[in-house]
A and B are shown apart, each in its own frame.
Chain A
Amino acid sequence: MQKILELKRLKKHYPILGGVLRKKISSVRALDGIDLDIYRGECLGVVGESGCGKTTAGKTIIRLHTPTNGSVYYYPEGRGPEGRMDIASTKISALKRLGIRSKLQMVFQDPTTSLNPRMLAKHIIAEPIKVQENVGGRELEGRIIGLLQLVGMTRDHLLRYPHEFSGGQRQRIAVARAIATNPEFIVLDEPTSALDVSVQAQILNLLKSLQEKLNLTYLFVTHHLLVVKYISDRTAVMYLGKIVELGKTRDIFSRPIHPYTHALLSGIPIPDVEHKQHRIILTGDVPSPVNPPQGCRFHTRCAFSVDRCRMEDPDLAEVENGRSVACHRQHEMEKLVSDRFG
């Protein structure tokens, strides 16, 4: 499979200023060094709870935030590994000039705030096209109508304000806006969390079909594990700014290794009465990203931590083909969990 993006030790810290002279006293370590390869045509799911850095990861990759450290290598199509570019250190104006800006797009979580309430649907979708190219009049309108039809809407919806649409329709307009410039990679930041359950299914099916039709690569960020299971090929589990487990979605759900993944999966409320739940209830609360614990970040809530966990932060290491886990005791974890929790 061809790589499209490669993240190396990507960090994003937000400084906290304090004192009279507003010096930096500490920082919120939203993203604390992640390594990730994203392949063309796949849907990579990123899950985690609040504060784990998944939204920051999505926004940093497409340069809405400037990374504090690390690199994001973009591999343009057909050019091979030598043609790769570090978009983390490229200036934003250069990104636009080279046309990379239009290849990386994003769909936001809340369709009510992600569309300008004072703009007609037509202008909302036209905006990204007009930034990159000099199209106008009939041709532009034709393209917009084509995009609307791709997302399941009609030309009657052109001349309306966002508040005249329902939540699902607004999200469709947001998707149409994201695919307007023929992107290669789209970050989907919780696109269905603000929608009703029945509309969620519509949007997920739409996203799946668009991915096939337009050969897109998705980074699907969410906290809803069952949605990730439905739509993504691979999944990365994040905790406090680092990836703790990465692998094929099927494998992660059937055989989780990292104790946090175990806890997450066991915590999902299953809409199925027959399913017997063995809840692994984690003690304590999610620590704050300002002061992550020493050593392995999860050790304060982990039932299996040993001395090594308190001192050394484990790296994301490959356990088997395509599966990486960041845990010192990863080889014995399965047995430990089944012994403890049955």
Chain B
Amino acid sequence: MIANHPRLKELKFTLRRIFGNPLAIIGFSLLLFFIAVAVFAPYIAPPKYEHNPYLMPHKGYSQTPRPPSKQNIFGTTAGQYDIFYGAVWGTRTAFKIGIFVVCIAACIGVILGVISGYYGGIVDELLMRIVDIVFAIPLLVLTMAIVVAFGRGLDKVMIALAMVGWRSYVRVMRSSILTLRELDFVQAARAMGVSNIKIMLRHILPNGIYPVLVMAFMDIGSMVVVAAFMSFVGLGAPKGYADWGQMVALARNYIVGPPDDPLKYWYAIVIPGGCIVLFVLAWNLIGDALRDAFDPKIRRG
């Protein structure tokens, strides 16, 4: 336990730095709120279909959305799907998408970045050219291509995003490593005869991971937005699936209401859209606060 004390002190210092920023507190509270909603989803909105809680319940097939009422707290969208249910279970979907995609992309990106940056030479050149090619592929076009080839579904979208999403992490990690590689403590480790793998794991990675962390946090939000877009154009989640993007897609024809009351069906768009906005905002605020906390110039007075 004694060995943990200096690490605990470090952690406390870092946490204090992060939460010294009021925006970070807002972001973190929002995130906590979403986590709570996701964890307690079965209790907040009991699933109607036991085998697949992600199917939104609907009473009837009428296409017109109904405003919030006693049975449907947030109202219903086209096809009579309950918006409240969708919003709650959509939180789980959003977390799944964001974390899955970013974890895989970051892992691939970090490993390739470390290899490329540390070894340099021909390995570096080769990897960087491959990354250039991957960068040239537009994310959305690739996702559409994969979905068209393999059929629609949120899991296909996630795989497509992970396949391309690692490209920026490679570059960020590589640039971090290029600076760290020349620092004295890495040279000292080489002088001591420490093996390359150990140097990468123990010296370079812990010091160079910060920009990747910051990027990852902000990326989670972006990935959710991209997945929402995919669902909106009909290539992502199937109809009736509890996904925020899917819910916006359902209300596609009701964005603007009848001429005399254009905002009549606001709840069908604003509620799922608002969920996306707040979710992305939470991650972005935390990412921002992390970046300020990890900035070496401000870090140690």
Q: Do the two shown chains form a genuine complex with each other? A: yes
- 21 residue pairs of the A-B complex, CB under 8 angstroms, read A59-B187, A64-B190, A101-B192, A109-B184, A110-B184, A114-B184, A114-B185, A116-B185, A116-B202, A116-B206, A116-B207, A118-B207, A119-B202, A119-B203, A120-B6, A127-B189, A159-B2, A159-B6, A163-B300, A174-B188, A181-B192
Judge if A216 is at the interface, Cβ distance under 8 Å: no
Q: Which residues of B contact A161 (CB under 8 A)?
A: 6, 10
A113 lies within 8 A of B183 (CB) = yes
0 or 1 for each of B5-39: is its CB under 8 Å from A? (1 = yes):
11000100000000000000000000000000000
0 or 1 for each of B173-192: is its CB under 8 Å from A? (1 = yes):
00000000001110111111
> How many whole Å from B182's CB to the nearest CB in chain A?
10
Q: Which residues of B contact A64 (CB under 8 A)?
A: 187, 190-191
Judge if B197 is at the interface, Cβ distance under 8 Å: no
> How many whole Å from A171's CB to the nearest CB in chain B?
12
A105 lies within 8 A of B192 (CB) = yes
> How many whole Å from A128's CB to the nearest CB in chain B?
4
A177 lies within 8 A of B6 (CB) = no
Interface of B is mostly: helix
B193 lies within 8 A of A102 (CB) = yes
B189 lies within 8 A of A106 (CB) = no
A159 lies within 8 A of B3 (CB) = yes
Closest to A129 in B: B192
> How many whole Å from B285's CB to the nearest CB in chain A?
26
A108 lies within 8 A of B3 (CB) = no
Closest to B184 in A: A114
> How many whole Å from B5's CB to the nearest CB in chain A?
7
Closest to B190 in A: A64
Judge if A160 is at the interface, Cβ distance under 8 Å: yes
Judge if B103 is at the interface, Cβ distance under 8 Å: no
Q: Which residues of A contact B203 (CB under 8 A)?
A: 116, 119
> How many whole Å from A111's CB to the nearest CB in chain B?
9
Residue from A95, A108, A174 with most neighbouring chain B CB atoms (10 Å): A108
B3 lies within 8 A of A177 (CB) = no
- The B140-195 residues at the A interface (CB cut-off 8 A) are 183-185, 187-194
Instruction: Please judge, given known A-B contacts A108-B187, A109-B184, whether A118 and B192 are in contact too, CB under 8 Å.
Output: no
Judge if A117 is at the interface, Cβ distance under 8 Å: yes
Closest to B4 in A: A159
0 or 1 for each of B201-233: is its CB under 8 Å from A? (1 = yes):
011001100000000000000000000000000
> How many whole Å from B209's CB to the nearest CB in chain A?
10
B189 lies within 8 A of A113 (CB) = no
> How many whole Å from A294's CB to the nearest CB in chain B?
33
Judge if A132 is at the interface, Cβ distance under 8 Å: yes
B194 lies within 8 A of A127 (CB) = yes
> How many whole Å from B296's CB to the nearest CB in chain A?
9
Interface size on B, residues (CB 8 A): 21
0 or 1 for each of A51-77: is its CB under 8 Å from B? (1 = yes):
000000001001010000000000000
Q: How far apart sit A95 and B203, CA to CA, in the bound complex (Å)? A: 22
Instruction: Identify the 4 closest CB pairs spanning chains A and B, nearest first.
Output: A114-B184, A128-B192, A101-B193, A108-B184
Q: Which residues of A contact B184 (CB under 8 A)?
A: 108-110, 113-114
Judge if A236 is at the interface, Cβ distance under 8 Å: no
A118 lies within 8 A of B206 (CB) = yes
Judge if A219 is at the interface, Cβ distance under 8 Å: no
Q: Which residues of B contact A160 (CB under 8 A)?
A: 6
Q: How far apart sit A185 and B138, CA to CA, in the bound complex (Å)? A: 57
A117 lies within 8 A of B193 (CB) = no
With A119-B203, A131-B194, A177-B188 given, can you name 10 additional A-B contacts, CB distance below 8 Å?
Answer: A92-B193, A96-B193, A106-B191, A116-B206, A118-B206, A120-B3, A127-B189, A127-B192, A132-B193, A163-B300
Judge if A115 is at the interface, Cβ distance under 8 Å: yes
> Contacting A62 at CB < 8 Å: which of B183, B185, B191, B300?
B191
Q: How far apart sit A62 and B191, CA to CA, in the bound complex (Å)? A: 8
Residue from A64, A102, A113 with most neighbouring chain B CB atoms (10 Å): A113
Closest to A115 in B: B185
0 or 1 for each of A152-186: is its CB under 8 Å from B? (1 = yes):
00000001110100000000001001000100000
Q: Which residues of A contact B188 (CB under 8 A)?
A: 106, 108, 114, 174, 177
Closest to B189 in A: A127
Q: How far apart sit A26 and B115, CA to CA, in the bound complex (Å)? A: 29
> How many whole Å from B151's CB to the nearest CB in chain A?
46
> How many whole Å from A69's CB to the nearest CB in chain B?
21
Q: How far apart sit A181 and B192, CA to CA, in the bound complex (Å)? A: 9
Q: How far apart sit A176 and B60, CA to CA, in the bound complex (Å)? A: 78
Q: How far apart sit A110 and B184, CA to CA, in the bound complex (Å)? A: 8
> How many whole Å from A190's CB to the nearest CB in chain B?
11
Residue from B2, B6, B10, B192 with most neighbouring chain A CB atoms (10 Å): B192
Q: How far apart sit A125 and B189, CA to CA, in the bound complex (Å)? A: 11
Q: How far apart sit A112 and B3, CA to CA, in the bound complex (Å)? A: 23
Q: Which residues of A contact B2 (CB under 8 A)?
A: 159
Q: How far apart sit A251 and B207, CA to CA, in the bound complex (Å)? A: 47
Q: How far apart sit A177 and B283, CA to CA, in the bound complex (Å)? A: 42
A159 lies within 8 A of B192 (CB) = no
Q: Which residues of B contact A177 (CB under 8 A)?
A: 188, 192
Closest to B5 in A: A159
> How many whole Å from B210's CB to the nearest CB in chain A?
11
Closest to B299 in A: A163
> How many whole Å from A207's CB to the nearest CB in chain B?
17
Closest to B185 in A: A116
> How many whole Å from A216's CB to the nearest CB in chain B?
16
Residue from B185, B202, B206, B207 with most neighbouring chain A CB atoms (10 Å): B185
